Structures are given as structure tokens and as C-alpha cells.
Structure 1
Amino acid sequence: MYPPVDPVIVEVGPLALRWYGVLMVTAIFTGAWVASRYIKRQGDNPDNLWDMLVWVLVPGFLGARLYYVFVQSPRGTDGLGRYLEHPIEILQFWRGGIHIFGAFIAGSAALWLYTRWHKLPPLRYLDAIALGLPLAQAIGRWGNFINQELYGPPTTLPWGLRIDAQHRLSPYSNLQQYPDSVRFQPLFLYESLWNFIGFGLIFWLSRRFKKQLQPGDILLMYLIWYPLGRFWIEFLRTDSWFFSGTPFNVVHILCAAAILSGAIGLYWRHGRKPAAG
């Protein structure tokens, strides 16, 4: 696959413009634009979405980073011990290391509080975010490519990813056993493609069945689609802690819970037969 890309676009003294940051900002504003258009189609003022953005993003990024550090910390030199020894690095999310489940939990709580405080319909705004989120994730995942993270085990597939020695986790950091010619599964690419497809599918459903959909339905569709793909990708992760003697980790549990919640919610709303009169 493509060779590694320099993560720094331009550097002036202590300041550096990084691809990771550019991609994150692009992803956020693209997803927010999609969400604001949905709010406008629902008859609300799209400025409400932009006004709440910072109040959702800050808790979302904080939750994403804290989840990564304390739950999803990679093994070896990037483990939890490193962050405890150098706590300032916990805030350096631009180096990579954020987790969507932490962002979703903290960001959703912040959005709910914001909408309740400003007397806005929370489910409508959660739907808006859920509509734009897959597209934002699909774009943002390319930051993992730049930082040489979110890769899987070695592969001989033609789209295998080159990972430099300093970015490899054990045992793949052993260059005698895994020389520089070894290529790895590009999990970031699989997830990015899954999210692009998910965005297209959910967007189409939101327009095709807009008269039948209830507030919160788009959120439920997202809770099925994204975790479904993430559940299978997790089996290939090289940077996760797995339960002893099993191929499962905490993310598998969260994904299964989200999928079941989304499926049960949609069935409860649309799949039950009306009671006989």
C-alpha cells in the first residue's frame, strides 16, 4: 500500500501543523455541516447546531481521550504506565489515541444537557449528529494512516500497510522476525470504508422514509451500523487488551450492547403488529 506520510505538514519553531489535526478539523466540520442541513430540513434553525458544537466537542474529545488512556491504551511502551508517568501526554490527543465510544458517551451526555437547558428537542439533534457522524469518522480515520496506527496482523494482501519499526507493537517490533518488508492489515481503511457506506445508507434511509421515521430512529440506525462493523474489526486489533484466553475485549461488549439496543428500539417502534381491536 502507500508508504508512510510525514505527519507534520509544516513546522515553524515550536509550532507544527499536523495532518492529524487537519483531518480531525475537516471531519468535524463536514459532519457538523451534514447535521446542520438535517436540522434545517426539520424546520429548526441550523445555527442551534453550530452554537452547541463546542459544548459537545470539548466533552467528546475529553471522553474519547480518557477512554483511550484508561481503557484502550495500547500494549508495551504506549501502555497506561507511560501516561501515569507522563500525565501531560494524556492531553496530547493530536499524537493519536482517541476512542469513539468515549466520545459518543461524553458527547451525547453533553448534547442532552445542552438541549434540555436551551429547550431544544434532544432526539432531533442526536439524529442530526448520528447522520453526520459516519462521514466524519470515515474522514478522520485517515489520521490513523498518517500516524501509522490502527493496523492489524501481517498480511500478504496487495493493500497491506507498511508500518515503521518505531510504530510497531510487540511482537511485530522484532525486525528479525518481522522485517521491514512485512505488511499489515489496514484496519483504518476497513473502518473508513464501512463508515462511508454507512453514511450513504443512513442518509438514503433518512430521505426515503422521512415520513415514517420518528425522532431518534436515525440514532438507532447508527447504533446498529457502526458497531456491527467495529465488532468484527476488533478481532484484528493489535493494540487492544483482550479478556484472558478469549478473542474478545471491552469494545465487543459495547458493540453488542449498542447493536441490540438499536435493533430492539427500531423493532419496538416499527416492527410490532398493532393490537387487535
Structure 2
Amino acid sequence: MDIAYIPSPSRGVLYLGPIPLRAYAFCIILGVVVAVWLGSKRWVDRGGAKHTVGDIAVWAVPFGLVGGRLYHVITDHQLYFGEGKNPWNAFKIWEGGLGIWGAIALGAVGAWIGARRRGVPLPAYADAIAPGIALAQAMGRWGNYFNQELYGRPTTLPWGLEIHKTLPGGEVVTGVYHPTFLYESLWCVGVALLVMWADRRWSLGHGRAFAVYVAAYTVGRFWIEYLRIDEAHHYLGLRLNDWTSIVVFLAAVAYFVIVGKRKPGREDPASIDPAAHEGAEGVPGAEEKPAGEKTTEKTTEKTGAKAAEKARETVDGDKPSQLLDVEAEEKAAGKPAATAAGTAEKTGKDAANPI
């Protein structure tokens, strides 16, 4: 007798009156919040402004959701199109079905738009947000648990997942399977920790921390995908997502190596976020006077102060060398030496009445 130590969820949706609260959506929202929080913290540590990550996420998140859904619908089109299928189900995102590859690809487009509007280099932003994305994926996978989807092969392991659900065609699935959602969730937590450790150890920059995230995630996705038994396209004995993992892994490693040789180290903190160093962050008096006026005013004050000081030195007799010269001339002419006060007075009058 098989014993499931991970019971099947009793429900995946709660109703607040007529409003459905779906666990799948809640897990995604919670993941986004954590990603923005951690990304903001890392961005500030790198020299950026506090709200930059959130402002760019306003663009990246909607693009990512659309991209993730498009990838799922395109690669699993047989679920929505064809005889006996309802194409409108392709819009029911709350029932599950987000492809991470599409989410990252189109999310990057949204992030690029947001970063461009803020004057922020996209690779630096990607480095800051990378661990947060991994944690968001870890939380999002629990939405698959509540929807009872993306499970693996049957197993007798004590951490097997009990599944009891009715498929759209009426087939009832009951049994204990590999909890691939849990495997991927734990793997993503490990990826987040790996990226933060590597970034701190080697000061990764110019998109290399993001490349570490991508490469590490694809390694885990490859073997987890191999355990899954849900319907998918196969090519040369491998699922489509396995091939995608291989290609993306190679691209991430190549990027890491090439950029590491061309741009070692991390970006200059003063260059990654203009908002952290300009009036956009509320610097008082940033626009009171043009820079030219301030410079001219300061120069005039400095010149006037020097002229006044020089005049005082001449009148008050603060330069002994000048007084000695006057006394020497008077002695040579047979005149009694003038007092210091008289000499200063004379010198002052001469200065005031030039010939």
C-alpha cells in the first residue's frame, strides 16, 4: 500500500462572496512581491535608487505574464485548438500554464523598456533581480501543487504526491507521483542562494550574475523535466523543454565567459542609476540656480575677498617687508624713521590716491 506523505490539496480556490481567490494567482503575486523586495535591496547595495526596481517591474511583470502564457499556448496548442477544444480556454491563465522561457524572454523586453525610460543599463538590473526571479519561481511552483498539475512518474517514495483529479476529457487520475513541483521549488531556492554567493564572492557584473541564474536553473529543469509525464512534444527522445534547457544553458555559459573577458568586475555604482545621484531623488535646491550662475557668483565672491584682504594688508601694515623698505629709504635721505602707524597711514593714502 502506497502512503502519500504529501496529500492532495483539498481545494485550489476560496470564494470571498462572488470573488474567487485562487491559490495559483496568490503564489504568483507573492513571488513577484519577494522578487521586487530582494531586487530593490540588491540594487540599492549596488548604488541604485530605492524605487528603481519596482518602477521597472511595472513593465517587466505584465510582459512576463503574457510571454509565459504565449509560450505555453504555442508549445501546447493541442490543448486549446482542434476538434472538440475550446480556444477561449487559452485565456484562462488562472487554471495554470505559464512557460518560464516565454516569461523570461518577453519579461526582458518589458524590463528593457522600463530600464531605458529610467536610464538604467539592463544587464546591471538583471544582475540585481536574478535571485529574486529564482525565488519567485520557487513560490510560483506551489501554484502547480494547488492545481494538481506538472507531477512526475508514479513513485513509492515517502515524499510522493497524491493526485486525485479529473482531466478535461473526463478521465480520473488517482495515484502517488513524483512531486516535481516540489523538486523545482527547492532547486530554485538553491539557485537563488548560489547566485547571491557567487555575486558576493566574485563581484559579478554586466549581466553575469543573471547568466549564473539561467545556467543553474536550466540544469535542474533538465532532470526535473525528464521525470514529468504530462503531455508534451518530443524530439529525438527528449521533451521540448529539455532541448530548450540545453540551448539556453549553452547560451548562458557563452555569455558568462565572453562578457567576463571583455568586462571583468562590476559596473561603477555612480553609472548604473541616474536617479540615485540627481534631483530625481529629492535633492533640495537642485534646480534653484543654473550651474553657470553659481560658478560666477562664487568666483566673484572669491576675487572680491582676495582684493579686500590685499587692501587690508597694505593699509594695516601686515607686511613687514614693505615697512622696512620705507624706513630704509627715509634713513638714506636723512629723515627720521617713521613709526609703523605713520608708514601704514602713508602707504594707505598712496594706495587710495594713485598717480
With the shorter chain as reference, the TM-score category is 0.7 to 0.9
Cα distance 1:196–1:82, how it changes in 2: closer, same or farther (>3 A)?
A: farther
- Picking from 46, 56, 76, the partner of 1:42 is 46
Which blocks of at least 5 consecutive residues in structure 1 are unaligned? 273-277
Per the alignment, do residues 209 and 121 of structure 1 end up closer, same or farther by CA in structure 2, a change over 3 Å counting?
A: same
The match for 2:218 is 227
Q: What residue ranges of structure 2 are gaps of 5+ in the alignment?
A: 263-355
Tell me the secondary structure at the aligned position of residue 154 of structure 1. coil
Q: Which moved more, 1:160-169 or 1:146-155?
A: 160-169
Partner of 1:247 in structure 2? 237
Cα shift at 1:82: 6.9
Looking at structure 2, the residues matched to 197 and 121 of structure 1 have their Cα atoms a distance apart, in angstroms, of 27
Aligned length: 258
**Aligned match of 1:126:** 126
Alignment-derived partner of residue 160 in structure 1: 160
Matches of 1:16 and 1:82 in 2, distance apart?
Answer: 29
Distance 1:234 1:270 in 2: 30
Residue type of the partner of 1:166? T
Asked if the contact 1:149–1:167 (Cα under 8 Å) also holds between the matched residues in 2, the reply is: no
Measured at CA, do residues 71 and 121 of structure 1 come closer, stay the same or move farther in structure 2, by a change above 3 Å? Answer: same
Is 1:202 paired with 2:195?
Answer: yes
Question: Is the CA contact 1:151–1:188 (under 8 Å) kept in the aligned structure 2?
Answer: yes
Equivalent in the alignment of 1:275: none
Partner residue of 1:265? Answer: 255
Superposition TM-score, scaled by structure 2 size = 0.67
Q: Structure 1 vs Structure 2: percent identity of aligned residues?
A: 33
Contact 2:164 2:172 in 1 (8 A): no
Give 3-state SS (helix, strand or coil) of 1:17's partner. Answer: strand
Q: 2:284: which partner in 1? A: none
Could you say which residue in structure 2 is the equivalent of 1:8? Answer: 13
Give 2:234's aligned amino acid. F
TM-score (norm 1): 0.85
How far apart in 2 are the matches of 1:189 and 1:122?
Answer: 31
Q: CA deviation at 1:271?
A: 6.8
Aligned to 2:241, the other structure's residue is in SS state: helix
Q: 2:7 matched to 1:17?
A: no
Query: Aligned-pair RMSD on alpha carbons?
Result: 2.5
Q: State the 1:27 CA deviation.
A: 0.8
Q: Could you say if the C-alpha distance between residues 219 and 169 of structure 1 is closer, same or farther in structure 2, counting changes exceeding 3 Å?
A: farther
Mapped contact 2:57–2:114 kept (Cα < 8 A): no
Matched, 1:184 2:188: no
Q: Distance in 1 between matches of 2:167 and 2:201?
A: 44
Contact 2:188 2:217 in 1 (8 A): yes
Which whole-Å CA distance do the structure 2 matches of 1:201 and 1:109 have between them? 25
More deviation in 93-102 or 260-269?
Answer: 260-269
TM-superposed deviation, 1:165: 3.5
Shift of the alpha carbon at 1:186? 0.7
Alpha-carbon distance between aligned partners in 1 of 2:136 and 2:142, rounded to the nearest angstrom: 11
Provide the C-alpha distance between the structure 2 equivalents of 1:258 and 1:188, rounded to a whole number of angstroms. Answer: 21
- Shift of residue 130, structure 1, vs aligned partner: 1.5
Alpha-carbon separation, structure 2, partners of 1:92 and 1:161: 25
Matched ranges for 1:206-221 at <5 A? 206-210=199-203, 213-221=204-212
Q: For the residues of structure 2 that align with 1:24 and 1:186, how far apart are their CA atoms?
A: 19
User: Is the 2:131–2:193 Cα contact (8 Å) retained in structure 1?
Assistant: no
SS in 1 for 2:81: helix
- Partners of 2:29 and 2:71 lie apart in 1 by 20
Pick 1 or 2: higher relative contact order, CA cutoff 8 A, min separation 6.
1
Aligned to 1:140: 140
Give the C-alpha shift of residue 118 in structure 1: 3.0
